[in-house]
Amino acid sequence: MTNASPHGRPFIKMHGLGNDFIVFDAREIPLALTDDVVCALADRQTGIGCDQLIVLHPDKKPDAGGPADLFMEIRNADGSTVAACGNATRCVARLILEETGRDRALIRTRAGLLAADRDAFGIRVDMGRPGFHWQDLPLSHEMDTLMLDLHEGGLSQPTALSMGNPHLLFFLEGGLDVDVRAIGSTLEHHPWFPEAVNVSFVRVLAPDHLSVATWERGAGLTRACGTAACASLVGAHRRGYAGRAAQIDMSGGALHILWDDADHVLMSGDAEIAFHGRVALPLGHGA
Ligand SMILES: N[C@@H](CCC[C@H](N)C(=O)O)C(=O)O
């Protein structure tokens, strides 16, 4: 890669429960990354390595509620642009809260305006309302999202819903062993999901305690997925397996999710800084 600046472009490496992010601040110096450059940076052997790459832009679309602190661009490791990422939203909220000294952050995403603050578990983000209509995900045609007539790898009848991004949830019986990689990668691009889908496997340990493994669209198997944790609680409640609040265990740690009476999903958990660095970007990419 060519370096337009002798020192490269600064970035912060962050993670939420091991779901890791390269965060670039483009609020003062613009940054536009092609899919190829995102892939190169995300590569764990030849780049920095990440599940998602985040670019912070000025908020150019203030609505009636006033301007957000920033607009958060979210890219999967394969370069695709997505609307929502729960773990990265907590990380960005932490940066804003530390930078401003305020107790509330407002982050604009393609999925809407998200408010964040601190709570006993770390950073809490209001992830907004879930979507249950087939067009919310979207699906290829009209169907009942509560129980899809879909069968794969011995599993069947998953629930589908949107948390600003599409999720497919299989509820597992007992200790059934599943091949998350095989089933997840097969269903990620199933023709019923024209924009692909995040695939999760949910075990109900108790009505307020779930365990979730996720194959993420555009990133593969990750240690944690914030929107999948939100979707799992909502889906489990709709299927009658859980209450409206639960601890969600994932291989990287736990999140605490509440689906409140106003139909908003609140997600709480850690947001960590791993290290600061600089990277050479190709000419014309804002280095
Ligand atoms: N890691 C995320 C979700 C990132 C986007 C997802 N892979 C998609 O394509 O929708 C999270 O914490 O929510």
Q: What pLDDT, in 10s, does the model give residues 245-274?
A: 999 999 999 999 999 999 999 999 999 999
DSSP helix/strand/coil, 136 = helix
> What's the Cα-to-Cα distance from 46 to each of 39, 43, 74, rounded to whole Å?
10, 6, 21
pLDDT digits (tens, 9 = 90+) for 175-188: 668 999 999 999 99
Where in the chain are the domains? 9-127+271-279, 134-262
Q: Is pTM, for the whole model, over 0.90?
A: yes
pLDDT of residue 2: 38
Which whole number is the average pLDDT over 4-30? 92
Output the CA 130–ligand 1 centroid distance in Å: 15
Best of 20, 75, 76 for a ligand 1 pocket test (most atoms within 8 Å of beta carbon): 76
Q: What atom in ligand 1 is closest to the CA of residue 89?
A: 12
Best of 80, 212, 215, 227 for a ligand 1 pocket test (most atoms within 8 Å of beta carbon): 227
pLDDT of residue 1: 34
Share above pLDDT 90 across residues of the chain, in percent, rounded to a whole number = 91
Q: What atom in ligand 1 is closest to the CA of residue 83?
A: 10
- Which superfamily does CATH assign the domain made up of 134-262 to? Diaminopimelate Epimerase; Chain A, domain 1 (3.10.310.10)
Which residue's entry shows tokens 């990265």?
88
Q: Which of 65, 66, 78 is nearest to 37 (CA)?
A: 78
CATH topology of 9-127+271-279 equal to that of 134-262?
Answer: yes
pLDDT of residue 5: 59
Rounded to two decimals, the ipTM of the complex is 0.99
Question: What CATH number is given for 9-127+271-279 in this structure?
Answer: 3.10.310.10
Residue 20: HSE in the Cβ half-sphere, 13 Å Cα cutoff: 15
Structure tokens at 225: 């997925």
Contact criterion met (CB below 8 Å) for 200 and 169: yes
**Integer Cα distance of 161 and 138 in angstroms:** 9
